[in-house]
Amino acid sequence: MKDKRVLLIVGGGVAAYKALLLTRLLRKAGIAVRPILTKAGAEFVTPLSLAALAEDKVYQELFSLTDEHEMGHIELSRSADLIVVAPATADLIAKAAGGFAGDLASTTLLATDKPVLMAPAMNVRMWLHPATQRNIATLKADGVSFVGPDEGAMACGEFGPGRLVEPEEIFAAIVAMLEGPAARPLQGKRALVTAGPTFEPIDPVRGITNRSSGKQGFAIAEALAKLGAEVTLIAGPVAQPTPVGVKRVDVETARQMLAASQAALPSDVGVFVAAVADWRVDEAFGTKLKKEKGGPPALTFVENPDILATLSASGPRRPKLVIGFAAETDHVEEHARAKLARKGCDWIIANDVTEPGVMGGGENAVLLITQDGTERWDRAAKDQVAGQIAARIAKALG
């Protein structure tokens, strides 16, 4: 990335402050940033702060004798590997779609021959307006790429789509475009990942769960997204941050996880990392159980649905590649290979959870078990293991 350059157009709006954070991320990665600050953008961030973070001159005026002498606007529009508009306001989007060239930002977008990435930010009504949607469709047809917007509360007090995505997500999209398709072999593929434990309630305050932290599943979801996959992560109750570029669905019980997984189909690959509770009580109590003189209550257990086996046998909606996980305490390979046959999946990734630092920790040592044999991978950080798994998935989906 150290020889790459981004031309960053900063539009107006409260979200313009995120352009400063984005600039810091880009510079930290060694990517050069040359900013264009619109008149509206200058109402929210200062040229001085943007120049300090970018370590470059900030361009603002189309008819600046100094700027035109140092670098004409045509040369400026072609001086970078990628043009990024963040925030991309409704006004900037409309000007670009209509081919207007009344200021430096719109002229740059019209005169460039480089790829363009826009990160929209505007009021929900403006985003949903037919004119904006027409403009978005026009720009996409012209080859412009988009990241976001997010849905949520806005500075205007309304709620809905239109929020600028976080700088980390824009940064990831920038890196993906600069690296090109060779670095994103899973582009256009859909991935389903489950992670974390499930929690099966006994009463309003007690339940059945396990020690899974969700770290390995979240790391796999992130690794797949970095390779270009469209990832849906079904997460049990864990305190892990959502990976950049990943759609997260939070669930609690095994039945909820199964329903969410089925709703995420069709998918090219399903990676079922979650440590799902095998049993639940037949009927959760509506009030907290109290200690009684007769001793603890008798609980009747029933079996939870088998998510891995169900998805492995889901007919035409079955993922092309189904991967299960086996957390074992003894005879790891033997139990895992039996699970491979029993569940009907394609691969099993097994580990010994009695190893220190594995269950809930940051490292893992796994076996990759397929019909063709067994591979033993050295112990490594969970994100490194995730990267290896993602690379093998990309190779398998070819």
Choosing from 52, 128, 156, 183, which is the catalytic residue?
156
Q: Which residues in 165-303 belong to E strands, given as ranges?
A: 190-195, 200-201, 207-208, 230-235, 246-250, 269-272, 279-281, 301-303
The token pair that represents 30 in the structure block: 């060694």
278 assigned ligand-binding residue: yes
Closest among 164, 271, 292 to 217, alpha carbons compared? 271
Residues 6+ apart with CB under 8 A from 202: 208, 281, 284, 285, 289, 299
Query: Is position 288 annotated in a ligand binding site?
Result: yes
Tokens of 249: 């669905």
β-pair partners for 6: 33, 82
Phi, psi of 384 (to 5 degrees): -70, -40
Residue 136 assigned as binding residue: no
142: annotated binding-site residue?
A: no
* Residues listed for the chain: 398
Of 34, 49, 24, the residue nearest 4 (C-alpha): 34
Tell me, what DSSP letter sits at residue 253? S
Gap between the Cα atoms of 33 and 47, Å rounded: 14
State how far the Cα of 55 lies from the Cα of 35, in Å rounded to an integer.
10
Q: Is 345 a catalytic residue?
A: no
Rounded to a whole number of angstroms, the CA Rg of the chain reads: 25
Question: Contact, 340 vs 348, CB < 8 A?
Answer: yes
Q: How far apart are CA 236 and CA 346, in angstroms?
A: 24
Q: Report CA 261 to chain centroid distance, whole Å.
A: 17
Q: For residue 325, say whether it is annotated as part of any ligand binding site.
A: yes
- Whether 343 has a binding-site annotation, put simply, is yes
Q: Which residues are catalytic?
A: 156
Annotated binding site for CTP: 278, 288, 305-308, 325, 339, 343
What residues are designated binding site?
278, 288, 305-308, 325, 339, 343
